[in-house]
Amino acid sequence: MNKQQFMKELNRSLKKLPDEERRDISQDFEEHFFIGKQEGQSEEDISSSLGSPGQIGKEMLAVYHLDQVQSAASTGNMFRAIWAVAGLSFFNLIIVLGPFIGLLGLVLAGWAVGISFTVSPVLVLAELIVNPEASSIFEFFMSLTLAGIGLLISFGMLKLTKWLTKTFIWYLHYNMRLVKGGAKYEYR
């Protein structure tokens, strides 16, 4: 692979990044090729020592999205970061996506319980209007108790969701440090 092919493939794998970021990354590799050639290496030698431009691009994407989610932990940023880190290798896919799906299920279930408990008095009141004979004052007080528990659960879920988000970002980072690139990476 010569320099032009390398740069083309690298740029293709970076096309989802903002222009400025992509230009900056290309610039670094232009510099690398320039100095390498000055030292008497051929473009082919330089690019084969560098490794797969597609894999380098994937790592660059992961670095970018991880930085984004750290400055603003929005849901969109979170998903993009997870996707980018999971995409690094098959190994990453399993150790990132597996725990994430498990935790996501847990969080969704917790919120479902919290919210449905909290709104239960509304449901009882609705039944009172639709079907006055079947409902009792006991049901209504029960639902008030449930609502209290539901509020507690929701509040707990709010804390838990925040904490899990922070922990998971840390986990993504830890992954980047340890298995960045993974076994797919070829080296000389």
**Smallest distance from the beta carbon of 171 to another protein, in angstroms?**
15
**Smallest distance from the beta carbon of 179 to another protein, in angstroms?**
5
| Nearer to another protein (CB atom), residue 138 or residue 187 | 187
Kindly write out the interface string for residues 130-159 of this chain, putting x where it contacts another protein by CB under 8 A and - elsewhere: ------------------------------
Tokens for 92? 């990453």
- CB burial string 21-45: b at 16+ within 10 A, e below: bbeebeeebeebbeebeeeeeebee
Helix runs in 14-136, H state only: 19-38, 43-50, 53-71, 75-86, 90-92, 98-118, 120-130
| Nearer to another protein (CB atom), residue 51 or residue 110 | 51
**Site residues for another protein, window 26-85 (CB under 8 A)?**
27-29, 31-32, 34-36, 38, 49-53, 55-56, 59-60, 62-63, 66-67
User: Interface with another protein includes 171 (CB under 8 A)?
Assistant: no
